[in-house]
A = this chain, B = another copy of it.
Amino acid sequence: MMDKILYGVAYYDEYMPYERLEEDIRMMKEAGINFVRIAESTWSTHEPQNGVFDFTSVDRVLDAMHKADIKVIVGTPTYAVPTWLVKQHPDVLAVTKNGPGKYGARQIMDITNPVYLFHAERIIRKLINHVKDHPAVIGYQVDNETKHYGTAGDNVQFQFVKYLKEKFSTIEELNKAYGLSYWSNRINSWEDTPSMVGTINGSLGSEFSKFQRKLVTDFLAWQVGIVKEYSQPHQFVTHNFDFEWRGHSFGIQPDVDHYEASKAMDITGIDVYHPSQSQLTGAEISYCGDIARSTKNANYFVLETEAQAFKNWTPYPGQLRLQAYSHLASGADMVAYWHWHSIHNSAETYWKGLLSHDFKPNPVYNEAKVIGAEFQELSDHLVHLKKQNKVAFVISNESYTSINWFPFSDNKNYNDVFRRLYDELYKLNIECDVINPTFTNLQDYDLLIVPSLYTVNDEFLHQLNDYVNNGGHVVYTFKSGFTNENVQVRTVKQPGIISEACGIEYSLFVEPGQTGLKGSLLEIDSSEGPVQDWMELLTPSTAEVLAYYDHLHWGQYAAITHNHYGKGTATYIGFFPSEAVVKSVIEFVISKIPSLKKESFAFPIITKTGKNQFGKTIRYYFNYSDNPETIRYPYSSGQDLFSKQEVLTGDTVEIKPWDVVIIKS
C-alpha cells in the first residue's frame, strides 16, 4: 500500500486546550512521526448543527501537516453521533436487550437506522469530497471499531425475520433446525416470531448473533462504497478492527467477522492493546497481528496501540520500542499510537498518549524519538515483511457465540481456549496464521490447531478429515465438531464427523474436580490442575492414548489421543488443558512433523521471521524480560541491523532486557 513503515498518532486538534498545532508538528517531526489519523471522533465539530458543515479544523491540520510532510488518514466520523441528531431523532440509538439507549457514549446507535444512515452518509460525502484532493491525504478509515452494539429493536427484528425466511425454505424447516418445539417456542407463522431479546434458544440466538455480525459487514461495506466514490487511486481505505475486550485485547472479536468485514477494505487495520510493565509478553501483539495479516494474507496496519495509556500500561524503559518492533515482526506496516496527547476532560483522560497532559517531552515520548529515527533508517529493510507459515489456527465466530450459550466453564469462554493454545505456540516460537472455516486451501499448512470448533457445518469437518488423510496434522480440543452450523448437536457418537480421523468416540463428559493425568506418553510438568473445567470420557477406536485420566471412577477413559489417519495424524485433547499440557502436546506433535522445526529457545526470548521486499530474510529476536538473554544464531551469516555488525553462524547473540536484535541474512 505505502512504500515505508508508517509511524503515527491519532491527532485531535479539536480537543486542544490551547493553540498547539505548530508546536505539536515540531515535536512530531522530532519523533519521526510520518502520519496522523484524524476526524473519526468529531462529527459534532464538523457538523455543529443539522446540515451545517465546518471543516476548519480538518483543513488547518491537513495544510499544516502537508507543510511538514506528515501524511494524514481521514476517518469518517460516524461512530460517535452528535447531540443534535439524538435530540431530534432519539430512535437512532440502538434498542438492545437492556432497552432504549441513552446519549453520551460513542457506539450506541442502531447501525441499520435510516435516520442515522441518512446523516452518516451526508457527513461522509461532505467530508471525503472536501479532503479527497488534498495532497496530505493518503487514505481513509471508515468508522471506528464498529460493532453491532447489540442492536435488536423492532426494525432489526423485522430484517431478521426476512433473513430467516430467506434461509429456510419452509417454516417447518426452521422449527426443526433450531429445535423450537422445545418449551413451546415453535414459530408456526412468521408473524409469531418473538423478539430475539428474550430467546432462550441457543440455535436461534446464535443465528441472530451471526445476523448481527452481518449487519457490521454490510455497514462497513456500505461506507467503503461511499468513500470509494470520491477517493483517489493512490488513497487506501481501511478500518480499525478491535478484539474481545478484557481490559485489553483478548482473543477474537465476538461481534464482528473480521474475515468477511475486511473484504471491503484495501488493507486491514486493527488496534492492539495489551498488558504492559511486568505483564508484557508480546502475545497480544502476536495473535492480533496474525489475525489481521491472515484476513487478507497481506501486511496490515496497527492503527492504534498504547503509548503511555493507563497507570498499569505506562511502559518500562525499552518496552515502547520492543512493542513497536514486535508489530513489524508480525507483518505490520504501521505502528500508530492512540494518541498524540493526553486529553484534559471527558472520559479517556487517563488513557494517556505519547505526551502527558503537560505536552512536554517525557520518557515515553523520548523513546518514541528513538523508534522514529530507527524506523526512518531501517524502513526499507523492514516494510512489507512476508511470511510463509506452516501452522494455522482455525477460529470460529460461530463457536464463540454458541459456546457462550453452552459454556463449558463458569469463568472461561471460547477465547480462553484459543489463547491457552495460541500462547503456548507463541512461547515455543511457532509462528501461525489464523484462518476460519471458510478457508479452502488447508493443504497450505502442515499443522492445524483447532480450538473447540463447537459449531461448524459437516462440509468443513469432512475437509479436515480429508486434510489429515492427505498428510496434514490437526490438534483438536474438546467440544470440537459437537454441533452443526445450526448449533444442533450431532446425533451420532461424538466427536461426530471427526471421530473418523481422530480414532475416538465418547458420549459422557464429567466435572474434572481434582483429576490428574496418568499413563502419559507425554512429559508434562507436574503442575496443579492439568485437567480443568470440562472432561470428555474418550474411548479410542484406533487412536493411541497419550494420557489417561487419573481418577478413581473414570481412569479407564482416555484424556489425550493421537491417531494416524491416512498420511496424517489427528490429536485430540478431551478437556480444558493446563499450559503445561498444551506445551507438552504441541512439542510432541511438532516432533513428529519433520517440516516443522522447533527453536532451541523459548519465551521470554521470542523470534519472528519473514522475507523483506528484497527477498532477504529478516529475523527478529526479542527479550521479554528483565534479564539479559543470549541465543546461539544458527542461520547463515547476516547483519545486525542496529549495530551493523556481521553475525556469523553459531555466534552468540545477546539480547538486553526488553530489547530487540534484528538480523538480516
Which of A188, A201, A356, A507 has most chain B Cβ within 10 Å?
A507
B489 lies within 8 A of A342 (CB): yes
A106 lies within 8 A of B347 (CB): no
A312 lies within 8 A of B510 (CB): yes
B508 lies within 8 A of A308 (CB): yes
A198 lies within 8 A of B489 (CB): no
Q: Measured between C-beta atoms, what is the minimum distance from A221 to chain B in Å?
A: 23
Q: Measured between C-beta atoms, what is the minimum distance from A77 to chain B in Å?
A: 7
A179 lies within 8 A of B494 (CB): no
Which of A185, A193, A277, A363 has most chain B Cβ within 10 Å?
A185
Is the CB of A178 closer than 8 A to any CB of chain B? yes
Is the CB of A534 closer than 8 A to any CB of chain B? yes
Is the CB of A187 closer than 8 A to any CB of chain B? yes
Is the CB of A129 closer than 8 A to any CB of chain B? no
Binary per-residue interface labels of chain A (180-212) against chain B in the complex, 1 for a CB within 8 Å, 0 otherwise: 111111111101111101111111000000000
B507 lies within 8 A of A356 (CB): yes
Which of chain B's residues have a CB closer than 8 A to the CB of A198? 101-105
Is the CB of A599 closer than 8 A to any CB of chain B? no
A184 lies within 8 A of B358 (CB): no
Partner of A358, one of B179, B314, B349, B494: B494
Size of the chain A interface, CB-CB below 8 angstroms: 100
B488 lies within 8 A of A345 (CB): yes
Partner of A184, one of B18, B44, B193: B44
Partner of A104, one of B87, B201, B342: B201
Which of chain B's residues have a CB closer than 8 A to the CB of A176? 17
Residue in B closest to A350 when the chains form the complex, CB atoms: B406
Cα distance A349–B200 in the bound complex, in angstroms = 11
Partner of A344, one of B12, B358, B488: B488
Cα distance A529–B256 in the bound complex, in angstroms = 42
Cα distance A364–B77 in the bound complex, in angstroms = 60
Which residues of A are interface residues toward B (Cβ below 8 A)? 12, 14-15, 17-18, 41-45, 48-49, 77, 80-84, 86-87, 101-106, 176, 178-189, 191-195, 197-203, 277-278, 308, 310-312, 314, 316-317, 342-350, 356-360, 362-364, 406, 408, 483, 486-494, 507-511, 513, 534-535, 552-553, 626
Q: Could you write out 30 A-B pairs with CB less than 8 Å apart?
A: A12-B182, A15-B181, A15-B182, A17-B488, A41-B182, A41-B184, A42-B184, A44-B180, A80-B184, A82-B186, A83-B184, A83-B187, A83-B193, A84-B188, A87-B193, A104-B197, A104-B198, A105-B198, A182-B346, A312-B511, A314-B510, A316-B553, A344-B488, A344-B489, A345-B486, A349-B406, A356-B494, A357-B489, A358-B507, A359-B491
Q: Known pairs A87-B193, A200-B346; list 13 more (Cβ under 8 Å).
A: A44-B180, A45-B184, A49-B188, A103-B194, A103-B198, A179-B344, A180-B345, A182-B348, A202-B349, A277-B553, A358-B491, A363-B508, A364-B508
